[in-house]
Amino acid sequence: MDLYLTNHANARNTKFCNEAGQVLYKSETPGSCLSHNRTTKISKVIPHDSPEDMTDLFADLAAIEWHRLGSSVLTYGGFKQSMKEFMPSKGIFAQHRVFTPPRDDRSFRWTLGMWTCSLILDDGSKTPVAESHRSNTGVLGKPREARLEIFSGFEHLADVILIGYVFVEKLRKERERTAQRRIG
């Protein structure tokens, strides 16, 4: 399952579409980057059968309250929890985030790479679950859109994978910007 981002530069303000261009999810973070404690609202399209009305209707899926000091807070599935509890950091330089989704006993691990994020089963098998792909203008190689690829067998976890992706991609982007400032 591929979810294409309409705004490749910001996973917190984009629409996530299937290959046909149909919007399946959207994320919105109102306010300026200077605002304190901004909140990203993640919504999911509500399927409907009316051929007359093709307007996309959305239902709230989750919200992430971003905190500069202290842990950000996730509201999802009827609960509210700090991201530090829901998805604690692991590893040297905290490059991993581990979580167990609701209604699933398995542990998953996000890895924040320099350019992309990837998700695996955290059970020793290292089974790939999801991977982000950056956009490519095609100067070197084939042009492609930014996307989140969810591998076969894990599509039923698309909601929580997408929520996790929005969170870890923000963290990864912050690290990328910090590294670029150090270089030059």
Q: Are 110 and 117 in contact (CB under 8 A)?
A: yes
Question: How far is residue 15's CA from residue 8's CA, in Å, rounded to a whole number?
Answer: 10
Nearest alpha carbon to residue 12 among 150, 169, 130: 169
Nearest alpha carbon to residue 147 among 59, 50, 19: 19
Tell me whether residue 36 is exposed, middle or buried, using C-beta atoms within 10 angstroms of its C-beta: 0 to 12, 13 to 18, 19 or more: exposed
Query: What's the pLDDT score for residue 25?
Result: 96
Domain, as residue range, for 94? 2-182
Query: What's the pLDDT score for residue 125?
Result: 94
Query: What's the pLDDT score for residue 26?
Result: 96
Sign for the pseudo-dihedral over CA of 94, 173, 168, 170: positive
Query: What's the pLDDT score for residue 68?
Result: 83
* Tens place of pLDDT per residue across the chain (184 aa): 999 999 888 899 999 999 999 999 999 999 766 666 799 999 999 877 666 666 778 999 999 999 988 899 999 989 999 999 999 988 777 789 999 998 888 999 999 988 899 999 999 999 999 999 988 766 777 767 889 999 999 999 999 999 999 999 998 888 877 777 777 6
Query: What's the pLDDT score for residue 114?
Result: 86
Q: Considering its fold, how many domains does the chain have in total?
A: 1
- The predicted-structure confidence for 108-133, as pLDDT tens digits, reads as follows 999 998 889 999 999 999 999 999 99
Query: What's the pLDDT score for residue 93?
Result: 73
Query: What's the pLDDT score for residue 70?
Result: 87
Query: What's the pLDDT score for residue 184?
Result: 63
Secondary structure of residue 183 in the 3-state scheme: helix
Question: How far is residue 118's CA from residue 95's CA, in Å, rounded to a whole number?
Answer: 11
pTM for this model (two decimals): 0.88
